[in-house]
Every structure is written in C-alpha cells, then in structure tokens.
C-alpha cells in the first residue's frame, strides 16, 4: 500500500490528501490581517498584507464548509478562487478610496470580479438566510411568568 502524499495548505500546515487531516489548527488572532482583526477597514497596499488576508479568508471559508478534513478538492479550488477574488476586490476598493474615483476600465474590471465572485460563492453554497426575530421559548415563559405574577 503506497503512502499518501502530504501537501502544504495555505496556513502552513500539512494536509494528507487521502485522509484530509491537518496537523495544525487555525492561525492565531495575532497573526490575522489588519482587515480580519478589525484594526483597519481597507487593505494596506503590500504583498504581505494581501497574502495574510488571503490566508485568513481561506481559513474562514473552509471553516464555513466544515473544515479542512471534510472539504473536497473541488471545493478547495473554489474556495481559493473566492478568497483571491475577495482580496483583489478589496485591493481595488482601497485604490478607489485613495484616488477618490474609479475610471471606467478599472470599474468594469472590478464589476466583473464581483460578479464572478458571486457566482463562485453560489457554487460553494452562498445562501440568503432570514434572521429569526421570533422570541425564544425562554423569553415566552419568562414573559408569561411575569404576567401571572403581576396579576396576582
């Protein structure tokens, strides 16, 4: 029986392609990009920041899909494309904010990237979810208890 081949995954851990298990967990919050940890709204113009943000998005999307150990190769490829498109859209948004405008060509490229991203996310299972605004069972019982005590 041949040994499974281990491959590098974006966060630096090793991934066993046959068993899909990683040897490390998600990156520490201190190593997250400035956009991910909330210290900045826009991505700074550097390769290192771009790469860190890409890694953070990969980890977040893979976690949404259930983790590295159950994601398929096709899903992994789509997640990588989605993360790259997100970081590139953020880079362009930073550029638009710094210059104060977007020329027609740059905006058309941005718009195409956003639409491609939407389709890619739909392939991964992007869904609209209605927010549940109904009271919980605990809230209903608590309100009934207060009402019964007030009438006594």
pLDDT averaged per 10 residues, the chain (length 152): 45 44 47 60 66 89 87 90 94 92 93 95 75 81 86 73
**pLDDT for position 84:** 93
Domain for residue 58, yes or no?
yes
**pLDDT for position 137:** 87
Output the CA angle 52-14-82, nearest 5 degrees: 45
Domain for residue 70, yes or no?
yes
CB of 123 closer than 8 Å to CB of 74: no
CB of 43 closer than 8 Å to CB of 56: no
Domain for residue 1, yes or no?
no
Three-class DSSP category at 44: coil
Q: How many separate domains does the chain show?
A: 1
pTM value? 0.58
**pLDDT for position 37:** 56
Domain that holds residue 123: 6-151
**pLDDT for position 40:** 59
* CA–CA distance, 29 with 52 (Å, rounded to integer): 12
Domain for residue 15, yes or no?
yes
Q: Give the chain's largest Cα–Cα span.
A: 77
Domain for residue 75, yes or no?
yes
């Amino acid at each position: 029986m041949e040994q499974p081949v281990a491959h590098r995954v974006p966060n630096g851990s090793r991934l066993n392609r046959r068993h899909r298990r990683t040897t490390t967990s998600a990156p520490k919050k201190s190593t997250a990009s400035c956009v991910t940890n909330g210290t900045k709204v826009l991505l700074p113009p550097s390769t290192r920041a771009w790469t860190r943000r890409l890694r953070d998005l990969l980890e977040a999307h893979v976690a949404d899909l259930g983790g590295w150990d159950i994601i398929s190769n096709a899903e992994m490829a789509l997640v990588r494309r989605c993360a790259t498109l997100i970081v590139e859209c953020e880079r362009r948004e930073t550029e638009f904010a710094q210059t104060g405008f977007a020329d027609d060509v740059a905006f058309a490229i941005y718009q195409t990237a956003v639409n491609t991203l939407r389709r890619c996310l739909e392939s991964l299972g992007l869904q609209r979810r209605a927010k549940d605004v109904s009271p919980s069972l605990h809230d209903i019982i608590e309100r009934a208890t207060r009402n019964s005590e007030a009438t006594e």
